[in-house]
Structure 1
Amino acid sequence: MKNISILLLSIFFFSCQQKENKNAPVQTSEPVLTEKNNEKENKEEENKQTGDTIFMNFKNEKGLFTAEGLLDSIHPRVYVKFKNEDSGELAAKIIPTTGKGNIRFNQIIFPDKTSDGPFGMDLKIPVKQKGNYIVVIGHSLMADSPFLGKFKVELEHKKE
């Protein structure tokens, strides 16, 4: 009985040991840069719509915040968020991919939670407060056939 229990214990311990993988990658202390890492960095510098929100974090070569958005039956409004550090004037424009459409700036929400609106497809408004602004884009409730599709939004902040 003693021999059988020793034999079973030895089989148990040998079966629980991990086998060495001869094809395992060699780990180094320096990270390896690949094309995927470079693509990820380039994609992070784009202003993209996530759900119903576009975060404007990066300016293009012309100094404009630009992004593409999508209005559909799931997201009838898009919230464009950006941070303002200096007083000046905000000039914004919506460019529908179809040329024209029932789309407009519905509202702008200031950092102190006050708001103004509605506006048209172009928006020019003084921005004097520092903080996070939210611009709401949607279709006009006063017109027929709501806009569904892609559009491009451009924001330009002109400092005083």
Structure 2
Amino acid sequence: MKFFLMPLLFLFFFSCQQKENKNTVVKTSQPVMKQRHENNTEENSKENKQIGDTIFMNFKDDKGLFTAEGSLDSIPSRVYVKFKNDDTGELNGKITPSTGKGNVRFNQIIFPDKTSDGPFGIDLKVPIQQKGTYILVIGHSQMADNPFLGTFKVELEIKK
């Protein structure tokens, strides 16, 4: 009996061990990482584009408007529009679906002090009294049929 128990215990202990992860780590110097980060921020500051589920509004056009194109691609999808504001005034926003009409709207605005307001429609007029980063949540209206799937254009203007 002893002889049968020993090989079973031996097999049990060696089968439960995890294999060693042999990932190699390549160290890069700080200037290389800093240069990549600077190049990435320069690219983001030249145009407003959607990355994942977030649109970073970093660049104003000739008219002083933040404009970008975004897309909703699934039913529970939301798009977050982030922009930084240094002045007080009024925020005017407009969503234009590529199909002309669609069930898409400004669901919520999140202020820099983490308070929020909403829901709104495809047009937005909100007084801005704080400096900092604002987040607009764009999505479907939960009260309407036919969720919007497709692309849209967002325009934001800050009037002083």
Q: TM-score of the superposition, structure 2-length normalised?
A: 0.71
| Correspondences of 1:1-160 after superposition (within 5 Å) | 45-73=46-74, 76-159=77-160
In 1, distance between residues paired with 2:140 and 2:47? 25
Q: Which runs of 5+ in 2 are unaligned?
A: 1-41
Is residue 75–residue 147 contact of structure 2 (8 Å, CA) maintained in 1? Answer: no
CA 1:74–1:104 in 2, change beyond 3 Å: closer, same or farther? closer
* Matched letter for residue 142 of structure 2: L
In 2, distance between residues paired with 1:93 and 1:49? 17
In 1, distance between residues paired with 2:52 and 2:76? 8
In 2, distance between residues paired with 1:130 and 1:72? 32
Q: Give how far 1:149 is off.
A: 0.1
In 2, distance between residues paired with 1:47 and 1:41? 9
Is residue 71–residue 150 contact of structure 2 (8 Å, CA) maintained in 1? Answer: yes
Q: Give how far 1:45 is off.
A: 1.1
Is residue 52–residue 78 contact of structure 1 (8 Å, CA) maintained in 2? Answer: yes
Is residue 51–residue 75 contact of structure 1 (8 Å, CA) maintained in 2? Answer: no
RMSD, matched Cα: 1.8
Is residue 52–residue 75 contact of structure 1 (8 Å, CA) maintained in 2? Answer: no
Is residue 109–residue 135 contact of structure 2 (8 Å, CA) maintained in 1? Answer: yes
State the Cα deviation string for residues 34-79 of structure 1 (Å, max 9, x = none).
xxxxxx969x511000000000000001110000000011871000
- 4+ residue runs of structure 1 moved beyond 3 angstroms? none
State which structure, 1 or 2, has the greater radius of gyration over its C-alpha atoms: 1
**1:98 alignment partner, SS class:** coil
State the Cα deviation string for residues 1-31 of structure 1 (Å, max 9, x = none).
xxxxxxxxxxxxxxxxxxxxxxxxxxxxxxx
**1:143 alignment partner, SS class:** coil
Q: Which runs of 5+ in 1 are unaligned?
A: 1-39
Query: How many residues get paired?
Result: 120
